[in-house]
Amino acid sequence: MNAVFPGSFDPITNGHMDVLTRASRIFEHVTVTVMHNARKQGRHLFTLEERLDILREATAHLPNVSVDSFSGLLVDYMRQSNKGIIVRGLRAVSDYEYELQIAHLNRQLGGVETVFIMAATRWSYVSSSMLREIASYQGDVTSMAPAATVSALRRKFAAEITNAASVDNPGSPR
Ligand code: PNS
């Protein structure tokens, strides 16, 4: 049985990695698919290509995992790609209500089943948005994210600081 692990992955965290690694031991193949979350519209730090690059690097050691993207409904992707089951991670009870709603919707719309994997408790407080916030203040996220994410965050915020400095002081060398 194959599975799809969909999400925004902006960027992938150790919590995602934990769920994905465990899913890769259960399913024959897992596709990590970057999708559009309408609730996060216009609030992405990384472009789609950047997120895919990070995911490819972070999952390179997992032989039965591949990376993909899709811009439509998850149920349409599942139907078109014939990929079986949706995997989602649960960190805490606060995730449950939203996940329950999506799982029911996806079964209603496309007859697709969702399997939940509980993220290890040590990652229950880790989220992509927290990583972005900590990294934006040059905080250390190395214990919470794969190396690919850590270096992408460093590059992203170093570039932002350089850009801000040149806007504040247009004559300054870049
Ligand atoms: O990592 P996220 O942001 O919690 O992932 C949510 C995601 C992208 C899986 C969800 O928003 C999604 O399935 N988007 C595709 C569009 C869709 O099918 N929407 C209907 C279900 S909400």
Q: How far apart are CA 37 and CA 74, in angstroms?
A: 10
All domains of the chain in start order, with CATH: 2-167 (3.40.50.620)
Query: pLDDT confidence of 81, banded at 50, 70, 90?
Result: confident
Q: Where does the pLDDT of residue 42 fall: very low under 50, low under 70, confident under 90, or very high at 90 and above? A: confident
| pLDDT value for 165 | 64
Cα–Cα distance measured from residue 37 to residue 49, given in angstroms and rounded to the nearest whole number: 16
Which protein residue has the closest C-alpha to ligand 1 atom 13? 74
Q: What is the dihedral of CA 156, 5, 122, 52, to 10 degrees?
A: -20
Mean pLDDT of 7-22: 98
Residues annotated as catalytic are 16, 40, 91, 128
Q: Do the annotations mark residue 98 as ligand-binding? A: no
CA of 170 to the centre of ligand 1 (A): 41
Distance 7 CA to ligand 1 centre (A): 6
What is the SS3 assignment for the chain? CEEEEEECCCCCCHHHHHHHHHHHHHCCEEEEEECCCHHHCCCCCCCHHHHHHHHHHHCCCCCCEEEEECCCCHHHHHHHHCCCEEEEEECCHHHHHHHHHHHHHHHHHHCCCEEEEECCHHHCCCCHHHHHHHHHCCCCCCCCCCHHHHHHHHHHHHHHHHHHHHHHCCCCCC
The mean pLDDT of the chain is 92
Q: Is 117 in the pocket of ligand 1 (CB under 6 A)?
A: no
Which protein residue's CA is at the shortest distance from atom 6 of ligand 1?
A: 7
- What mean pLDDT do residues 145-169 have? 83
CA gyration radius, the chain:
17
Say if residue 34's pLDDT is above 60.
yes
In this predicted structure, what is the pLDDT of residue 91?
Answer: 92
**What is the predicted pLDDT for the residue at 104?**
97
Ligand 1 center from residue 4 Cα (angstroms): 12
pLDDT at 43: 85
Residue nearest to atom 19 of ligand 1 (CA): 73
Residue 54, by phi and psi: left (phi above 0), alpha (psi -120 to 50) or beta? alpha
